[in-house]
Amino acid sequence: MAHINDHYLKLKAGYLFPEIARRVREFSTANPAAKIIRLGIGDVTRPLPAACITAGKAAFDELGEGKSFRGYGPEQGYDFLREAIAEHDFKSRGVAIDASEIVVSDGSKCDTGNIQEIFGADCLIAVPDPVYPVYVDTNVMAGRTGQADVSGRYAGLVYLNSTAESGFLPAFPKRRVDLVYLCFPNNPTGCVASRAVLTSWVEWATRNGAIILFDAAYEAFISDPTIPHSIFEIPGARECAIEFRSYSKTAGFTGTRCAYTVVPKTLRGFDAVGSPVDILPLWLRRQTTKFNGVSYPIQRAAEACYSEAGKTQIKDLVQYYMGNAKIIRDGLAKMGIEIHGGVNAPYIWLKTPGNLSSWEFFDHLLTKANVVGTPGAGFGACGEGYFRLSAFGETDQVREAVERISKLGL
Ligand code: MLT
């Protein structure tokens, strides 16, 4: 008899987004005439940048010729992409990250989910609340938690409340923890961390010997020039942080998949007897064992994001989505709804009107306006009473959604 991993049985029924999709499917089966507008999952709707398409097609052509054919690539990514990343995402902002500290992957969801494997089962983990559910669920699967309580919080995890009072910035842990997940610009609240806030986190991690797992998947949406794009812009972060970046939202790669993780050579953990151990070789060991790399054409397409044409096209994409964010913000503000985010991030976090619970509001919007959003409670107990709208839709659909919501007379 094969004994399953019992920790999976602790997980709440479904991962948030498939659960939303299930409810929407059920509604549209019962109401086939309903024209549903989806502003739930943060999935992009605009085509890939032309520069990426050209580069990807050329790479496929290379694979069609005997003399330029390639099989397996390096598991950690081709040098051409790692070097372009080091140059354009870091050096250009005055941040010293070497290409050898960059590990290319097929997504930040995978990387933020897998990174916990290289740390001890006894590590104490802190997560903001609300939070991207992947950070929590993967630690549950790994057995670092007990059961969830009625609010969905797992025993053994340290939750850092992020509330309106704190501008949705997570509170610092009140007890010792080993690893803390941070995400800025934040999914789901759309809030950002100033240089001062990030500096306090780096100082806290340095003082406490903790490691920050910094998810920067939405950095391209920062418009305020004072907000850091990378934790490595903060002195001392090379000794206490890992950063995750993605082409998914920036360049429309949610379907094509490409991302990367930065593990500085100066980052160390400790073995059982307290001797320091470099983290980068552990992550490389994990990736080279379990992952065979992103396909060559997709890495060439990602590299094209850094060409002059690619940079312009990406800027246009970001502006398009942030134009949507403004439509949502302005529309909701006119309705008197309390809104957060949507300025340096593609998510708008709103207080549900009339004290509806997050899921009640979800049902109300779905059934009365045929608009899909994401219930804040799905991101954690502190998300209850909030709701997330994504700016990644098409503009005419976003306008229509706002108009429909305004007609509800909330
Ligand atoms: C979201 O909607 O939160 C994101 O699309 C999830 C993800 O990037 O996996």
CA 160 – ligand 1 centroid, Å: 20
Best mutation site among 44, 114, 131, 132 for ligand 1 pocket (most ligand atoms within 8 Å of CB):
132
Residues 111, 286: contact at Cβ < 8 Å? Answer: no
* Ligand 1 atom nearest to 374, measured from its CA: 2
* Ligand 1 atom nearest to 17, measured from its CA: 2
Q: Is the dihedral of CA 27, 29, 35, 38 positive or negative?
A: positive
State the pLDDT at residue 410: 83
344 Cβ closer than 6 Å to some ligand 1 atom = no
* Ligand 1 atom nearest to 188, measured from its CA: 3
187 Cβ closer than 6 Å to some ligand 1 atom = yes
State the pLDDT at residue 17: 85
- Encoded amino acid at 198, one letter: L
Provide the token pair at 285: 């060991």
State the pLDDT at residue 12: 83
Closest CA to 195 of 260, 203, 11: 203
Q: Is the dihedral of CA 323, 330, 373, 38 positive or negative?
A: negative
CA 282 – ligand 1 centroid, Å: 27
pLDDT averages per 10-residue partition of the chain, 410 residues: 96 82 94 96 96 98 98 97 98 97 98 98 98 97 96 96 96 96 98 98 98 98 98 98 98 98 98 97 98 97 98 98 98 97 98 95 97 96 97 98 94
